[in-house]
Amino acid sequence: MLRTNSKHIINWTMIGLLGLSCYLMLRITFQYMPVQTDVAFLQIKQQYIDIDVWFASFYIHVYTSIFALIAGFTQFSRNILKRNKQLHRSFGYVYIIVVLFISGPASVVMGWYANGGISSRIGFLLLSVLWMFFTAKAFQKARQKNFNAHRNFMIRSYALTLSAISLRAWKYAIVYAFEPGPMDVYRIVAWLGWTGNLLIAEYIIRKRFSGSRSAKNKWYKGSVHSITRSSKTIS
């Protein structure tokens, strides 16, 4: 009974965090509707406004990132995986398309023009490349029916998806606590905004899913035969 209640609390907590994250992402997105050149973050990017590829990439990234946030979250739902594997795969494809072909490439362009000098650029470019790499590996492992590896790479990928939220949380915390200059904050969060997420992801993978054979398969409960058979459409 206690274990069941604990699972319910965890599930509802995760749903609550997703709701909060979506709300924050929507607030960010709505700041840029309709398309403008002098609002919010764009106020400190005026030197790049006339670069068409950057301006287009910025709005592509802003408008599509929330789809990665929502679609990625569904990949960790045991209920969806057990009861509706087709829905799991459909949302998975949405996530892959957004990260690999839309928002991910746009974030590479944005990282190339990041404020704060070479340190910030390297930080954001590395974030973008790893985001796409982990997502591509997750897709590859799913096609190979290596579901443990698929799960682990999805955890890493989604941890980087959540950097959209953690980056801003760190920014507000650092400004409130230390009041550094704007570019100093930018250089710090260019790394801190995602490396912490990745460390937590690795901890979850190693702590929760390493060890016994049953623990490794915990995420994908149920019959391995059933999962493999239903996943043939991925191939």
Does the structure show a pLDDT above 50 at 39?
A: yes
Q: pLDDT tens for residues 123-180?
A: 999 999 999 999 999 999 999 999 999 999 999 999 999 998 888 889 889 988 887 8
**Does residue 100 contact residue 132 with C-beta atoms inside 8 Å?**
yes
Per-residue confidence band for 7, with pLDDT thresholds at 50, 70 and 90: low
- What pLDDT sits at residue 14? 67
Q: Is the pTM of this model over 0.85?
A: no
Dig out the tokens for 148 from the structure: 């443990």
Q: pLDDT tens for residues 182-230?
A: 788 889 999 999 999 999 999 989 887 665 444 444 444 443 444 445 4
Does the structure show a pLDDT above 90 at 23?
A: no
**Does residue 185 contact residue 159 with C-beta atoms inside 8 Å?**
no
d(CA 231, CA 145) in angstroms, rounded, equals: 8
**What is the DSSP secondary structure assignment for residue 15, as one 8-state letter?**
H
For residue 53, the tally of other CB atoms under 10 A from its CB is 12
Per-residue confidence band for 2, with pLDDT thresholds at 50, 70 and 90: low
Dig out the tokens for 29 from the structure: 């997105």
Dig out the tokens for 42 from the structure: 């764009």
d(CA 104, CA 106) in angstroms, rounded, equals: 5
Q: pLDDT tens for residues 88-97?
A: 899 999 999 9
d(CA 182, CA 75) in angstroms, rounded, equals: 36
- What pLDDT sits at residue 6? 63
* % pLDDT > 90, the chain: 44
Backbone angles phi, psi at 105, to 5 degrees: -60, -35
Dig out the tokens for 43 from the structure: 């106020």
Per DSSP, helices labelled H in 84-181 are: 85-97, 104-112, 118-143, 147-161, 163-178
Residue of 205, 227, 105 lying closest to 154 (CA atoms): 205
Does the structure show a pLDDT above 80 at 8?
A: no
- What pLDDT sits at residue 226? 43
Backbone angles phi, psi at 228, to 5 degrees: -60, -45
Q: pLDDT tens for residues 100-137?
A: 999 999 999 999 999 888 999 999 999 999 999 999 99
